[in-house]
Amino acid sequence: MTTEKNVEDPATEKEAPTRMKWNRSLDFLLSLIGYGVGIGNIWRFPYLCAKNGGAVFLIPYAVFMITLALPLTFLELSLGQYSGKSTYDVWDMCPAFRGLGAAATVFSTINSMYFNMILAWILYYLVHSFMSPLPWTTCDNWWNTATCIVKTVKETALNSSINGTDQPFIYGLNQTDGINDTGYSINENIFSVVNSTNSSVKHFTASEEFWNHNVLRISSGLGDFGTMQWHLVVAMVVGWLMIFGCIVKGVKTVGKVVYVTATLPYVFITIILVRAVTLPGAMDGIKFYIIPDISKLANVQVWIQALMQIFFSMGIGWGGFTTMASYNKFNNNILRDTVIYCCIGEGTSFYAGFVVFSVLGFMSHKTGSLVEDIVNTGPGLAFITYPEALSQLPLPQLWAVLFFLMLLFVSIDSMFVSVEVVITTLTDLIPNLTSKSRLMVTASTCFLMCLCTLIYTTQNGIYIFQLVDWYMAALTLFSITILESFVVGWLYGADRYLDDLEMMLGKRPPVIFKYLWRFLNPILLTVVLIFTLVKYQPPTYGDYVYPNYASALGWLIALASCMPIPIWIVKDLIGRKGPWKRRIQTSFEPNENWGPAKDYKLAYDSSETTM
């Protein structure tokens, strides 16, 4: 005789505790939205939309949202929910490809440290936003040079020294000209040249000098480490403490935090929008943003940029979707959540554009410049152009605080999910882990990542940051998603997987997913990956050209999170016994641990034995 237990209550089985669950389905949905709606939606999408035909850009964006982002997001979310496993263990479906989970975990580790430096910059700006006057509006500070100027009416705009040829290769978290772009590329419009009577003299605005000489205190190049900048060290440590606080009890604390971090950015962005649209020149900026140019649809580059933005801004291939969904109740309507997430992600990107361009239109009006001369992307927008524009409003401290609080919450949402990917992978590898042991794993992981992030706080940290951005993501993320589609669509079988989902959801998902996973998704991604490699350019940062060894270092970064994939295939084959034909067969078919989530499977098996 066996004793029944509530499979949704982890406390009912002390020896083999069941997996934690989200308290409410809304907790999961908010965490999903917070994860996917990142800084790139605010500082990258509006720029691409304005540059590529205004509202017309929404057409290729929506096409790839439906045909690429939605099916791949649904695939990763459903894998996590069905199996109740981490991004590593979920590949019990096809053991030879456990390297996909290892690659996603390595990527999330590197990504978390990269994100934390952005978080540190935001915190530093947020603290200085309370000062009067705002420190990026004057030229009489210790960090200013003789070439510093304060923007006045009719002066030239902010982005003339860096042209569109400087593009990161691998759209790390960022892309630049659509060839490479997920939201953070530093390599655009950081410096500006202001016309003067002496055309050989470069003048820099107060906001640029604050960024370069106060925040970064930038050195001469990659080989010039300089010293650790303690103001950034403090901001970075505070950032890691905030992340630790968000994930200290896993989804239990994350599920509470997201009610603030995933919702308040919309409040802040709406407040800024209401004020911005009343400013003189705001409508000019909005017109520049949305007026359609139908001819752009004939430009292949526009379609490529739309695909790049949608792919990298959604978080596909990072492991976050699988990890978060693994904490869902087994019968949660994951297809509904996928559709909601994709719609909100696209809507947020478009909505943010009105805020950005209404303020840039006002700045254009104030300076006498054209909107197209002011608009830029990446940190050039977030840390130079936009703060400068907000400083010209009445009560500039208020608007600066709201703006950087918005960026803070958006960054935290994206970052703690990336860290949770690493934590979940580690804790799932340890059997019968207690809550106290999990806390130790979380604290140790955050501490080690914090130590590694210190490299970005040196005076050459921005060059390292740019190098990671240039090379990090595309090779790994494209490889992961192409192979995910191949494994599910062909090795495991799309029909077989849809059968599993029908058992989980009570209704079979549309058959179109079968053809998207098997054909369109892997073909599209393979073509774009080849295009990316063909268009490769060595890294640069503004006028700085990296030394030759930087390319070799960059390729090592690119391969670091990609190599687990082939390594695990070889490792799995060698570790098996018997003839090679049998080894290959068993490596590419599900093992005994694959199946529905453990807590559901226990209840299901129990009901079967009592019938």
Positions at the binding site for Na(+): 34, 37, 41, 313, 413-414
Bind-site residues: 34, 37, 41, 313, 413-414
Please tell me the distance from the alpha carbon of residue 402 to that of residue 395, in angstroms, as a whole number.
Answer: 11
Position 309: which residue type? Answer: Q
* 164-to-168, 178, 180, 200, 298 alpha-carbon distances in Å: 11, 10, 12, 22, 20
* DSSP run (H or E) holding 128: helix 98-128
Please tell me the distance from the alpha carbon of residue 317 to that of residue 309, in angstroms, as a whole number.
Answer: 14
Please tell me the distance from the alpha carbon of residue 132 to that of residue 86, in angstroms, as a whole number.
Answer: 48
CA 601 to chain centre: 33
CB burial of 506-534 (b: ≥16 within 10 Å; e: otherwise) equals: eeebeeebbebbbeebbebbeebbeebee
- Structure tokens that stand for 434 in this block: 């207690």
Helices (H), 248-391: 251-261, 264-276, 282-290, 300-313, 320-325, 334-367, 371-374, 379-380, 386-390
- Structure tokens that stand for 102 in this block: 């290892």
**8 Å CB contact between 528 and 307:** yes
CB burial of 139-168 (b: ≥16 within 10 Å; e: otherwise) equals: beeebbeeebbebeeebbbbbeebeeebbb
Please tell me the distance from the alpha carbon of residue 34 to that of residue 506, in angstroms, as a whole number.
Answer: 28
CA atoms within 13 A on the CB side of 430: 13
**8 Å CB contact between 505 and 331:** yes
Residue 205 phi/psi, 5-degree rounding, is -70, 165
Residue 333 phi/psi, 5-degree rounding, is -75, 85
Angle, helices 474-486 vs 548-560, to 10°: value is 30
Peptide bond before 133: cis, by omega within 30 degrees of 0? yes
**8 Å CB contact between 213 and 147:** no
Residue 508 is given by DSSP the state: P
CA atoms within 13 A on the CB side of 511: 1
